Structure 1
Amino acid sequence: MRAIEERDLLVSPDLLVLLMERTGDGSEISVRELAEATGVHPSKIGHLRTGERKTAAHAEALAIARRLGVDHLVLWAPVGRTVPAPAYDPEAIPA
């Protein structure tokens, strides 16, 4: 039986773009440089930036956050069976 790979949900594509413009050390990093530093394919990073892709493997998410100089949970939210979906409350939605 194949093990289920943990995945993380990108909190915001715009936040990823912003963090790439100014990493934890103050420098900018390109898609290609981030890909080389993290071992993630450049097209996957490009798709995360545009919102075409919303998740990444947990190990990839950790590597991206580490290279950008932020804590993992600043940029990513864990998803899976152990994380319940948010409750739907129709009254909480503004009219």
Structure 2
Amino acid sequence: MTDDPQLYRLWSVTTLRQLMKRTGTGRAVSVRDLAYLSKVGKSSIAALANGSQQTIQADKAVRIAAALGVDVLVLWVPVERAGQAYADALTPAGSGAAA
């Protein structure tokens, strides 16, 4: 068993859309481009970008972040796994909530 989270929740649809407009290289990527670069299905990328999907497997989250040129935690919040809470995925970081 590993302590690494198996799922990540998208922090913000708005952040994802903004990063797609201007990646770490300064270029824009479409849903199709991001799917190709991250090797994640086009339907998953589209669902994340329109807000109908909020979580994704860790390996896919890492590949999407890498394709956008950002650290994983810029875009994703680890979700509770095996009874251990990694973070409250619904509370923005730095909001003053108790840790």
Q: CA RMSD in A?
A: 1.8
Aligned residue runs from structure 1 range 1-95, under 5 A: 6-80=6-80, 81-83=83-85, 86=88
8 Å contact 2:8–2:58 — kept in the other structure? yes
Larger Rg: 1
8 Å contact 2:11–2:77 — kept in the other structure? yes
Three-state SS of the structure 2 residue aligned to 1:40 is coil
Following the alignment from structure 1 to structure 2, what is the Cα–Cα distance between the partners of residues 85 and 61?
16
Q: State the number of aligned residues.
A: 83
Unpaired stretches in structure 1, ≥5 consecutive residues: 87-95
Unpaired stretches in structure 2, ≥5 consecutive residues: 89-99
* TM superposition outliers: structure 1 runs of 4+ over 2 Å: none
After TM superposition, the score normalised by the length of structure 2 is: 0.78
Higher helix content, 1 or 2? 1
Sequence identity percentage: 41
After TM superposition, the score normalised by the length of structure 1 is: 0.81
